[in-house]
Amino acid sequence: MSIDAAETNEDRRKYEFRKVLEELEEFEGSGTQLVTIYIPEDRQVSDVVAHVTQEHSEAANIKSKQTRTNVQDALTSIKDRLRYYDTFPPENGMVIFSGAINAGGGQTEMITRTLESPPNPVESFRYHCDSDFLVEPLEHMMADSGLFGLVVLDRREANVGWLKGKRVEPVKSASSLVPGKQRKGGQSAQRFARLRLEAIDNFYQEVAEMADDLMVPKRHELDGILVGGPSPTKDEFLDGDYLHHELQDKVLGKFDIAYTDESGLYDLVDKGQEALADQELVEDKNQMEEFFENLHTGNQATYGFGPTRENLIMGSVDRLLLSEDLTEDVIPFECPNGHTEYETVERRHTTPSQDCSECGEAADPGEREDVVEHLMEIADQRGTDTKFISTDFEKGEQLLNAFGGVAGILRYETGV
């Protein structure tokens, strides 16, 4: 898989997570009957099944017949889902939601949703039965799901680790044999200096190897790298290109850090906070800059649902830009004369009635579909990358409000 394809998949997975979470937040049970289970990746599925079976038999004591039935149905449905898994859940674990939700008019509807491999690991097993689903832990995960590499070093020691979301994870350390600045009496000054430089060079190589071993395998998921230490150590280390070139390209900044033990990793994150926050928006900003530039200086840009869709089908879109906050559905309307037109509506609004713009006949609505999924499916078929754009900056907000949340950077001019 190419880097771009991997990033698109990652974006898409996050989008799908967000969507399910939004949906789950809305649901209510009429009693304490909605079940949520968080399962860490190292929890055996058979243990979970045993736990669910236990809850099922305890639920027999629930006084309200309706609640009892609903809880037991939810647990049975969860057990059915668990059958699809082998010994352990997928990487990072999974979360299952099941229960009878209020469907309006005194009716309930049984729903079950499974979210596999969230962006950060599920930390502990949780069984939760309440009048709503437990979504907060997943929401926190979505809010801070970045992965950053950390390197702190001076000439005596070094530590490398991760920043995963808001959590610092020290991984490896090394200490050097670089002699101090004080040479022993009788030693040639020149020889001493040369040996010392060699030792420093060796140590930088060792630190780089340590960082490479840890971070190169994760380079496609990595959002950036922070390097910390006293001057001139960190500068020498970066200027000397010791790191693998793909990691070197991911360095977001270097920061003055007094300590280079594990505590230095935490200092580094504090000092690098601003660079980290900016980084999340940098790529989105670049995409929007390019879009506006294309829009103003040529015609290699498109926006709005209809024209973008048309361009996508032609295969002329290089990158599809979708607002992260886009919450619309698309409805195909078909008239008796065989004309099909697509209209977009807010996700929770009712389907309007529509006349065909070509022949004026009343058109029948077809199946509603999420705009994002509709467009991404066409994009996938045409080899077009999709980028999700945050609304946390001016041009990102403009994409949502002025361009309907949908735009494209074109490969060539199409006149559409």
> Which residues would be at the binding site for Zn ion (CB under 5 A)?
335, 337, 339, 356, 358-359
Alpha carbon 137 to chain centroid, angstroms = 15
Name the minimum Å distance from CB 363 to Zn ion: 7
Q: What Å distances lie between residue 286 and 279, 302, 389, 409, CA to CA?
A: 11, 17, 10, 12
124 vs 357, beta carbon nearer Zn ion: 357
Q: CA dist 255 to 34, 49, 150, 215, Å?
A: 48, 49, 11, 19
SS3 content of the chain, % helix, strand, coil (to 5): 40, 25, 30
Does the CA dihedral 49-50-53-59 come out positive or negative? negative
In angstroms, give the least distance from the CB of 349 to Zn ion: 24
Rounded least distance, CB 309 to Zn ion, Å: 18
**Residues with Cβ < 8 Å from 407, sequence gap 6 or more?**
291, 301, 302, 303, 304, 308, 320, 321, 399
363 neighbors 356 (Cβ within 8 angstroms) = yes
Give Dmax (Cα) for the chain.
103
Q: How far is the CB of 342 from Zn ion (least distance, A)?
A: 13
Taking the complex as a whole, how short is the minimal distance between the CB of residue 353 and Zn ion, in angstroms?
A: 14
Residue 334: Cβ within 10 Å count: 15
The residue among 19 and 339 lying less far from Zn ion, judged by its C-beta, is 339
Q: Which helix (H) or strand (E) holds 100?
A: strand 94-104
CA 321, 322, 325, 328 dihedral sign is positive
Q: Residue 190 pairs with which residues in a beta bridge?
A: none
List residues bridging with 115 in a β-sheet.
Answer: 95
Strand boundaries in 165-250, DSSP class E: 167-175, 224-229
Q: Which is nearer to Zn ion, 211 or 331 (CB)?
A: 331
Tokens of 16: 């799908």
Task: Pick between residue 80 and residue 358 the one whose CB is nearest to Zn ion.
Answer: 358
Task: Using the minimum distance from each CB to Zn ion, give the nearer residue, 18 or 339.
Answer: 339
CB of 284 to Zn ion, least distance (A): 40
Nearer to Zn ion, 335 or 372 (CB): 335
Of 126 and 339, which CB lies nearer to Zn ion in the complex structure?
339
User: Nearest CA to 386 among 307, 324, 321?
Assistant: 321
CB-CB contact of 100 with 131 (8 Å): no
The least distance separating Zn ion from the CB of residue 312, rounded to whole angstroms, comes to 23
Q: Which residue is nearest to Zn ion (CB)?
A: 356
Q: Report in angstroms how near the CB of residue 339 gets to Zn ion at its nearest.
A: 3
Written as six digits, the tokens of 250 are: 């991911």
Alpha-carbon distance of 273 to 360, in angstroms, equals 58
Residue (50 or 362) nearer to Zn ion, CB = 362
Least CB distance from residue 60 to Zn ion, whole Å?
Answer: 59
Contact 300, 409 (CB under 8 A): yes
Closest approach of Zn ion to the CB of residue 278, in Å: 50
Measured from the Cβ of residue 285, the count of other Cβ atoms closer than 10 Å reads 17
List the structure tokens of 404.
Answer: 């309907």
Q: Which is nearer to Zn ion, 139 or 334 (CB)?
A: 334
Between the CA atoms of 289, 291, 296 and 302, what dihedral angle is there, to the nearest 10 degrees?
A: -160
Which residue, 273 or 337, has its beta carbon nearer to Zn ion? 337
Alpha-helical regions (H) of 298-407:
305-314, 371-382, 394-402
Nearer to Zn ion, 209 or 334 (CB): 334
Residue 134 beta carbon to Zn ion: minimum distance, rounded to whole angstroms: 49
